Chains A and B, each alone.
Chain A
Amino acid sequence: MGRILRLWVVACACITAAAPAFAQQPTPAGRIKVVSGDAVIVRGASTVPAQNGVAVYQSDSLRTGKDGRVGITLSDDTQVSIGPGSEVKLDSFVYDPGAGQLALVLKFIRGTAAYVSGQIAKLAPDAVRLETPAAIVGVRGTTLGIEVTSD
Chain B
Amino acid sequence: MKADLKPDLASYLLAMADDEMILAHRNSEWTGHAPILEEDIAFTNLAVDEMGHAGLWYRLHADLADEDPETYPDRLVFFREAPFFRNIQMVELLRGDWAFSMLRQYLFDVAESVWLPDLASSSYQPLAETASKIAREEMYHLRHTQAWIRRLGRGTPESHRRLSQALDEIWPYALQLFVPQPAEEELAAEGLVPLKSAARETWLAKVEADFKASDLALPDGGEPPTTDRRAHSEHLVGLLTEMQSVARAYPGVSW
A and B pair up: no
